Copies of this chain bind each other. A is one copy, B any other.
Amino acid sequence: MKVAVMGYGTVGSGVVEVIESHSDVIPKRIGGNTLEVARILDLRDFPDDSHADLFTKDFNDILNDEEIKIVAETMGGVNPAFDFTMKLLKAGKSVVSSNKELVAQKGLELLRTAEENGVNYLFEASVGGGIPIIRPLTQCLAANNIEGIAGILNGTTNFILTMMIEKGMSFNEALRIAQEKGYAEKDPTADVEGHDACRKVCILASLAFGKHVYPSQVETEGITNITLEDVSYIASADGVIKLLGQIKYLSDDRIAAFVSPAVVYNGSQLASVKDVFNAILVRGDAVGDVCFYGPGAGKLPTASAVVADVMDCAKHTQRRKFFGWGAGAEDYVVDYKTNVKMPFYVRAKADCSEVTSKFSEVKFLSRKGQPSDEVAFITDVMTQKELEAKLGDMNVINTIKVTDY
């Protein structure tokens, strides 16, 4: 069975490698068929690559090849991946993708087009890299009402936070090392500002609750404001700071979804997720909490998820997979600031009496070298709006949500 790969970067070259290095076992697992990479689309030249005869710069070479029935889209970005994918689906080819930006923005249209044309559009690799999450969420947990999801969805920021927590490095120092190791891009904005995690939240929310959630609906805060002082205070409360994507089901078929730094206490499965690893915790009304852990990025882990989707398409050429991913709605994603209650960590230039005059119940934290005019504390459960009202004119340095996962 002929397969094309679009985008020969880290993941795309990994896809070719995984297909080739597993050519002995793949046929056994897909009913006897072999997978053959027949075309690779990339605008760049790869003169030293052993697949020289497979490269093309012309998308039509794939679109018009009737023998190619499955295409792996590992290009990234919305354009031209969206246009290409729509054309392929309309031409009766199944497409599998690791492209979280595209799925988050255009998942609904792509899934509808796949359905209309009797083909599959699969994207297991778009969330959590190599971690199985989309099938478990949509199939294994199908008998649950999902109450909430919390995930460490970005390896770069988790690496930076791990270095800050375990080695006492500053954010900038940790970012520099992440860049040296190839975990962070030269322009790290998409990672450190939470945009990458936001896209994954959109995909998880759309799958878990059946209505498309767009990145613009998910309030997103990165980790650039986190300091070693915050890390130290939170350690004294037996917790760590993680960048979490959180989704909560509220009443009346509405949800809240947001990305932000969050305090995770050390008993949580999310607290022990270190370095570039990811984890996604799903809370169902019947199952309780289940958690999926593994490499959230990287060449071969992500490629192995893409190839598993390719194998699924090869095994079930007739069958279309439906995810129950419907249209979004205006008031469906509500403002978490007025709708979700939680405790908050607060650090401020203030004294204890100012704090206790404003909050009836707080837990004060301490750190080594704490200045006499600085306080840090964890509040009772309230909305962010309520927190802001209570803080009033207090000289606040930082506030961080405390998660209940």
The chain A residues found within 8 Å of chain B, CB to CB, are: 18-19, 22, 25-26, 28-29, 31, 124, 130-132, 135-136, 139-145, 210, 269, 272, 284, 286-295, 298, 300-301, 303-305, 307-308, 310-312, 316, 319, 322, 324
Considering the chains assembled together, what is the distance between the CA atoms of A304 and B272 in angstroms?
A: 27
Judge whether B289 and A294 touch: CB under 8 Å.
yes
Judge whether A287 and B269 touch: CB under 8 Å.
no
| Residues from chain B with Cβ under 8 Å of A142 in the complex | 29, 307-308, 311-312
Closest residue of chain B to A134, judged by CB?
Answer: B140
Q: How far is the CB of A22 from chain B (nearest CB, A)?
A: 6
Judge whether A293 and B291 touch: CB under 8 Å.
yes
Considering the chains assembled together, what is the distance between the CA atoms of A292 and B284 in angstroms?
A: 15
Considering the chains assembled together, what is the distance between the CA atoms of A286 and B135 in angstroms?
A: 19
| Residues from chain B with Cβ under 8 Å of A316 in the complex | 319
Judge whether B143 and A139 touch: CB under 8 Å.
no
Considering the chains assembled together, what is the distance between the CA atoms of A301 and B311 in angstroms?
A: 30
Most B-side CB within 10 Å, residue of A18, A132, A272, A307: A132
Judge whether B28 and A288 touch: CB under 8 Å.
no
Closest residue of chain B to A145, judged by CB?
Answer: B25
- Copies, count: 2
**CB within 8 A of A294: which of B135, B143, B288, B305?**
B288
| Residues from chain B with Cβ under 8 Å of A210 in the complex | 28
**CB within 8 A of A143: which of B272, B287, B288, B308?**
B308
Judge whether A22 and B143 touch: CB under 8 Å.
yes
Most B-side CB within 10 Å, residue of A142, A145, A293, A307: A142
Q: 4 closest pairs, A vs B, by CB? A: A132-B140, A290-B294, A143-B307, A132-B136
Closest residue of chain B to A131, judged by CB?
Answer: B290
Most B-side CB within 10 Å, residue of A29, A131, A143, A310: A143
Judge whether A290 and B130 touch: CB under 8 Å.
yes
Considering the chains assembled together, what is the distance between the CA atoms of A294 and B281 in angstroms?
A: 9
Most B-side CB within 10 Å, residue of A286, A291, A308, A311: A286
Q: How far is the CB of A296 from chain B (nearest CB, A)?
A: 10
**CB within 8 A of A141: which of B132, B287, B289?**
B132
Judge whether B286 and A130 touch: CB under 8 Å.
yes
| Residues from chain B with Cβ under 8 Å of A310 in the complex | 143
| Residues from chain B with Cβ under 8 Å of A144 in the complex | 22, 304
9 new A-B pairs (CB below 8 Å) besides A18-B286, A136-B136, A287-B305?
A28-B210, A28-B324, A130-B288, A130-B290, A132-B290, A142-B308, A143-B304, A272-B272, A288-B301
Q: How far is the CB of A281 from chain B (nearest CB, A)?
A: 8
Most B-side CB within 10 Å, residue of A18, A31, A144: A144
Considering the chains assembled together, what is the distance between the CA atoms of A324 and B316 in angstroms?
A: 15
Considering the chains assembled together, what is the distance between the CA atoms of A324 and B300 in angstroms?
A: 24
| Residues from chain B with Cβ under 8 Å of A25 in the complex | 145
Judge whether A308 and B18 touch: CB under 8 Å.
no
Judge whether A308 and B135 touch: CB under 8 Å.
no
Q: How far is the CB of A232 from chain B (nearest CB, A)?
A: 22
| Residues from chain B with Cβ under 8 Å of A307 in the complex | 142-143, 286
Most B-side CB within 10 Å, residue of A31, A292, A322: A292
Closest residue of chain B to A305, judged by CB?
Answer: B140
Closest residue of chain B to A129, judged by CB?
Answer: B287
Judge whether B287 and A300 touch: CB under 8 Å.
yes
Q: How far is the CB of A55 from chain B (nearest CB, A)?
A: 23
| Residues from chain B with Cβ under 8 Å of A269 in the complex | 272, 293
Closest residue of chain B to A140, judged by CB?
Answer: B132
Q: How far is the CB of A118 from chain B (nearest CB, A)?
A: 15
